[in-house]
C-alpha cells in the first residue's frame, strides 16, 4: 500500500495536463532529475527540498512506521486500526488553516510569520517524536497516542504554511512547478528514509533507538526554515463580496462548527477509550452506529448550510437581518470564506450533480485507504493470513520497489489521460484499484493463483534483479518465491493506485473554480480521505475475526461504489458536452 499523496501533487499533474484540468500555471514544464538536482543549489529550491523532507517525515512515521513497530510488538490489529484514526487530522486541516494562515508572527530570530510559525511547529514535532522514542507501546500505547496526535496536528499545520510559502516565493525564475517538483523530491526522500530506512534500522538497533535516529533527522530538517527567505504574504480571497449578512452566515456556521466539534470529540474520545480499555471497546459497532452520524455532522451538514446560503443570496436577504457583528466574527468570516463559500460555489455550478460528485469523492480512494494502516501487519505479521516477512524484506519490497512502481503508475496514468481523456482514466482507475485487492486476497490464502501466473510467464526470474540491490544495502534478504510474489502484487497494486491517483487529481482539479482553486481542491481531497480512514477501526476488528483474505474481498467489493459513481459521472459529463470523454 502507498501512503496518501500530499496536496501539492496537484501542481505537478495539473501543470502537465492543463487541457484536461483547466488549471493554468506560468512556465509549466517537466523537469529532469538533472535539472531538479541542479536547482537545489539555489536558495529557494534548496529550502524547498528540506521543507518537503520536514513535511513528509512526521507523516510517514505516524501513519505508517509506527504500525510496523506495533506489529513487531504484537499489538493487536484491532488496536492498530483504531490508532490509525489519527490520520483524520490531516483530512481536516482545512478547518484551522485560516487561523494558521493569519496567526500573529512569533518573535523568533526576526523571522517572518511563515518561517517563525513553521519553526515553532517543528519544535512540537521534535518533542513529540523524541517522547515516542522513550515509550514502550506494550505498556504505554496511550502515551504514544497522545504524542502522535500532538505531532500530527503540528505536522498538518506545518503543511499549511509550507504550501503557502511555496506559492508566495514562486516567481518567473523559480516557478511554482519547479518548487513543487523539488518539494516532492524532498518529500519522497523522507518517505524512503522514514519507511525503508526505519525498517532497516529497527532490525539492527531496535525501534526506540530507531525513533531517536529519526528524531535527529527531523532536527536536521529544521535547517529548512533558516535556509528559506521570508515570503511576501499574499492576500487571500475572503469569499465575502457577495455573501449574505453576518447574521445569516453565523447562524449557518454555528451548527456546522458544533457538528465538527462533536465529530472530533466522538471519534477521539472513542479512540482514547479503546486504547485504554481494548477488551470493552467495539470499533465495528461504533463505526456502524456513530460513523454515519459523523459523516452527516462533518460533511452533509456543511453542504446543507452552503445550500441554504445560496438560497439566502438568491432571495436577496441582505436587508432582512442585522449587520451586527458577533464576538469572534473574524473566525466566523474565515470559516465561511474557507468552507461554506467554496462549497456553495460547487453546489451552484454542479446543481444536483454535486451529490454524485460527493459520492465519487468519498468513495474513490476508499479501497486502498481503508486498509492502508494494516499493510505492515499484513506483511510482517503471522496471524489471520498475514505473510510473516522480515523487516528487511518489507523494506526492499514495499518501500523501495513499491515506491518506484507508484511513480511508474502516475506516469502511465498521465500518458493515458493525454491519449484517451480524463473520465475514461478515472473509471479505469476505480476498476484497477478495486481489482488489485483481489491479488492481496490471493496472497493471504497462500498465493496459488499468483504462483501459477508467475510460473507460466517466467516472472520469478525477473525479480532476481533485486538481490544485488539487497546485497549492496547489506540487507538480510534472499529473493525467494514468496518475496517475489509479494513484489509482484505490490507492483500491480502500486501501479493501479498510482494510475488512479493521477486520474483523481486531474478530475478534482477540473471541477474546481479558479477563484477558490486551492480551497476547493483541499476540501475535496480531504473528503476523499475521510470515509476510508473512518472505516479502519472496524476493519481492524474484522481482520481478527475473519482474516485478511475476507477483508481484501470486502474492500474489493466496496470499491464497486467508486466504479459505479465514476461511470455515472462520466455519463453526466458526456451529456453536458464536457470536452474530456477522450483526447482530441
Q: How far apart are CA 355 and CA 343, in angstroms?
A: 12
Contact predicate 565/360, CB 8 Å: yes
Take residue 454 and report the three cell numbers written for it.
508467475
Take residue 52 and report the three cell numbers written for it.
518537503
- Structural domain total, the chain: 3
The CA–CA distances, whole Å, from 370 to 67, 373, 492, 523, 580 equal 14, 7, 18, 19, 30
Please tell me whether residues 165 and 292 are part of one structural domain.
no
Contact predicate 283/84, CB 8 Å: no
pLDDT at 135: 92
With respect to residue 540, please indicate whether it lies within any of the assigned structural domains.
Answer: yes
> How large is the C-alpha radius of gyration of the chain?
23
CATH code at position 462: 1.20.1250.20
Taking 70 as the pLDDT cut, the residues of the chain under it are 1-40, 177, 234-243, 312-324, 514-519, 522, 528, 577-584
Take residue 242 and report the three cell numbers written for it.
457577495
pLDDT at 10: 42
b/e map 82-95, b = 16+ CB within 10 Å = bbbbbbbbbbbbbb
Q: Which residues contact 54 (CB under 8 A, 6 or more apart)?
A: 122, 158, 162, 186, 190, 218, 221, 222, 224
With respect to residue 55, please indicate whether it lies within any of the assigned structural domains.
Answer: yes
Q: How many CB atoms lie within 10 A of CB 205?
A: 12
Q: Give me the residue label for grid cell 471497546.
A: 281
Contact predicate 375/489, CB 8 Å: no
Closest CA to 264 of 304, 300, 293: 293
Q: How far apart are CA 490 and CA 211, in angstroms?
A: 26
Q: Which residues contact 259 (CB under 8 A, 6 or more apart)?
A: 296, 297, 298, 301, 302
With respect to residue 26, please indicate whether it lies within any of the assigned structural domains.
Answer: no
Closest CA to 289 of 74, 538, 525: 538
Q: Tell me the three state secondary structure of residue 375.
A: helix
Q: How far apart are CA 233 and CA 113, in angstroms?
A: 9
Closest CA to 91 of 270, 229, 260, 247: 260
Please tell me whether residues 429 and 496 are part of one structural domain.
yes
Please tell me whether residues 471 and 541 are part of one structural domain.
yes
Q: Which residues contact 459 (CB under 8 A, 6 or more apart)?
A: 453, 484, 488
b/e map 219-239, b = 16+ CB within 10 Å = bebbebbebbebbeeeeeeeb
Please tell me whether residues 340 and 401 are part of one structural domain.
no
With respect to residue 263, please indicate whether it lies within any of the assigned structural domains.
Answer: yes
Please tell me whether residues 399 and 510 are part of one structural domain.
yes
Which residue, of 350, 381, 399, is where some domain finishes? 350
Q: What angle do CA 88, 380, 392 make, to 5 degrees?
A: 105
Please tell me whether residues 427 and 403 are part of one structural domain.
yes
Q: Give me the residue label for grid cell 449557518.
A: 252
Task: Tell whether the torsion through CA atoms of 209, 212, 218 and 220 is positive or negative.
Answer: negative
Please tell me whether residues 408 and 550 are part of one structural domain.
yes
DSSP symbol at 196: I
Which residue, of 236, 261, 295, is where some domain finishes? 236
Helix (H) or strand (E) holding 320: none
With respect to residue 203, please indicate whether it lies within any of the assigned structural domains.
Answer: yes
Q: How far apart are CA 208 and CA 130, in angstroms?
A: 9
With respect to residue 9, please indicate whether it lies within any of the assigned structural domains.
Answer: no
Please tell me whether residues 442 and 343 are part of one structural domain.
no
Phi, psi of 319 (to 5 degrees): -100, 10
Q: Give me the residue label for grid cell 472530533.
A: 264
Contact predicate 82/281, CB 8 Å: yes
Contact predicate 208/73, CB 8 Å: no
Please tell me whether residues 231 and 252 are part of one structural domain.
no
Q: How far apart are CA 551 and CA 543, in angstroms?
A: 6
With respect to residue 536, please indicate whether it lies within any of the assigned structural domains.
Answer: yes
Q: How far apart are CA 282 and CA 266, in angstroms?
A: 14
pLDDT at 322: 56
Please tell me whether residues 581 and 434 are part of one structural domain.
yes
Task: Tell whether the torsion through CA atoms of 315, 258, 89 and 150 is positive or negative.
Answer: positive
Q: How far apart are CA 118 and CA 165, in angstroms?
A: 10
Please tell me whether residues 576 and 437 are part of one structural domain.
yes
**Enclosing domain of residue 251:** 240-350
Q: What angle do CA 293, 295, 298 make, to 5 degrees?
A: 105
**Tens of pLDDT along 63-77?**
888 988 998 888 888
Please tell me whether residues 318 and 192 are part of one structural domain.
no
Tell me the whole-structure pTM to 2 decimals.
0.78
Which residue, of 319, 350, 381, is where some domain finishes? 350
Q: How far apart are CA 197 and CA 400, in angstroms?
A: 10
With respect to residue 15, please indicate whether it lies within any of the assigned structural domains.
Answer: no
Q: How far apart are CA 44 and CA 61, in angstroms?
A: 26
Contact predicate 120/106, CB 8 Å: yes
Q: How far apart are CA 559 and CA 565, in angstroms?
A: 10
Amino acid at each position: 500500500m502507498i501512503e496518501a499523496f500530499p496536496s501539492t501533487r496537484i501542481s505537478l499533474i495539473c501543470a502537465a495536463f492543463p487541457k484536461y484540468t483547466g488549471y493554468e500555471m506560468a512556465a509549466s514544464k517537466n523537469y529532469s532529475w538533472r535539472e531538479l538536482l541542479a536547482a537545489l543549489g539555489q536558495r529557494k529550491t534548496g529550502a524547498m527540498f528540506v521543507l518537503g523532507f520536514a513535511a513528509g517525515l512526521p507523516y510517514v512515521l505516524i501513519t505508517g512506521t509506527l504500525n510496523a513497530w506495533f506489529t513487531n510488538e504484537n499489538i493487536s490489529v484491532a488496536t492498530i486500526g483504531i490508532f490509525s484514526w489519527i490520520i483524520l487530522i490531516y483530512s481536516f486541516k482545512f478547518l484551522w488553516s485560516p487561523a494558521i494562515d493569519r496567526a500573529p508572527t512569533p518573535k523568533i530570530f526576526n523571522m517572518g510569520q511563515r518561517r517563525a510559525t513553521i519553526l515553532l511547529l517543528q519544535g512540537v514535532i521534535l518533542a513529540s517524536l523524541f517522547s515516542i522514542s522513550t515509550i514502550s507501546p506494550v505498556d504505554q500505547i496511550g502515551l504514544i497516542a497522545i504524542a502522535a496526535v500532538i505531532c500530527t496536528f503540528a505536522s498538518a499545520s506545518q503543511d499549511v504554511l509550507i504550501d503557502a510559502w511555496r506559492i508566495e516565493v514562486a516567481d518567473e525564475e523559480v516557478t511554482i512547478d519547479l518548487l513543487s517538483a523539488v518539494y516532492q523530491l524532498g518529500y519522497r526522500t523522507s518517505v524512503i528514509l522514514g519507511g525503508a530506512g526505519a525498517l532497516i534500522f529497527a532490525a539492527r538497533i531496535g525501534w526506540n533507538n530507531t525513533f531517536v535516529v529519526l528524531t535527529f533527522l527531523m532536527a536536521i530538517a529544521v535547517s529548512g526554515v533558516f535556509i528559506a527567505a521570508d515570503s511576501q504574504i499574499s492576500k487571500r480571497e475572503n469569499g465575502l463580496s457577495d455573501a449574505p449578512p453576518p447574521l445569516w452566515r453565523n447562524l449557518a456556521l454555528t451548527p456546522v462548527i458544533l457538528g465538527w466539534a462533536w465529530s472530533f470529540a466522538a471519534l477521539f474520545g472513542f479512540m482514547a477509550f479503546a486504547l485504554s480499555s481494548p477488551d470493552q471497546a467495539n470499533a465495528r459497532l461504533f463505526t456502524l452506529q456513530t460513523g454515519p452520524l459523523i459523516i452527516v455532522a462533518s460533511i452533509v451538514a456543511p453542504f446543507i448550510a452552503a445550500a441554504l446560503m445560496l438560497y439566502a443570496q438568491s432571495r436577496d436577504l441582505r436587508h432582512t437581518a442585522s449587520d451586527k457583528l458577533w464576538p469572534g466574527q473574524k473566525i466566523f468570516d474565515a470559516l465561511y470564506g474557507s468552507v461554506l463559500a467554496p462549497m456553495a460555489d460547487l453546489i451552484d455550478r454542479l446543481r444536483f450533480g454535486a451529490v454524485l460528485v460527493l459520492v465519487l469523492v468519498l468513495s474513490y480512494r476508499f479501497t486502498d485507504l481503508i486498509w492502508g494502516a494494516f499493510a505492515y501487519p499484513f506483511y510482517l505479521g503471522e496471524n489471520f493470513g498475514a505473510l510473516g516477512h522480515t523487516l528487511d524484506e518489507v523494506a526492499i519490497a514495499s518501500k523501495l520497489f513499491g515506491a518506484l512502481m507508484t511513480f511508474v503508475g502516475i506516469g502511465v496514468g498521465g500518458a493515458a489521460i493525454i491519449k484517451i481523456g480524463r473520465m475514461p482514466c478515472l473509471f479505469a482507475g476505480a476498476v484497477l484499484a478495486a481489482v488489485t485487492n483481489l491479488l492481496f486476497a490471493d496472497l493471504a490464502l497462500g498465493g496459488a493463483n499468483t504462483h501459477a501466473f508467475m510460473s507460466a510467464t517466467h516472472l520469478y526470474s525477473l525479480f532476481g534483479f533485486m538481490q544485488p540491490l539487497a546485497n549492496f544495502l547489506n540487507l538480510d534478504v534472499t529473493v525467494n518465491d514468496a518475496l517475489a510474489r509479494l513484489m509482484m502484487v505490490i507492483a500491480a497494486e502500486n501501479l493501479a493506485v498510482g494510475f488512479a491517483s493521477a486520474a483523481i487529481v486531474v478530475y478534482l482539479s477540473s471541477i474546481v473554480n479558479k477563484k477558490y482553486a486551492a480551497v476547493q481542491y483541499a476540501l475535496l481531497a480531504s473528503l476523499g480521505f475521510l470515509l476510508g480512514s473512518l472505516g479502519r477501526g472496524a476493519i481492524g476488528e474484522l481482520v481478527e475475526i475473519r482474516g485478511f483474505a475476507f477483508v481484501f474481498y470486502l474492500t474489493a467489493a466496496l470499491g464497486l461504489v467508486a466504479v459505479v459513481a465514476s461511470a455515472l459521472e462520466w455519463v453526466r459529463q458526456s451529456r453536458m458536452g464536457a470536452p474530456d470523454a477522450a483526447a482530441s
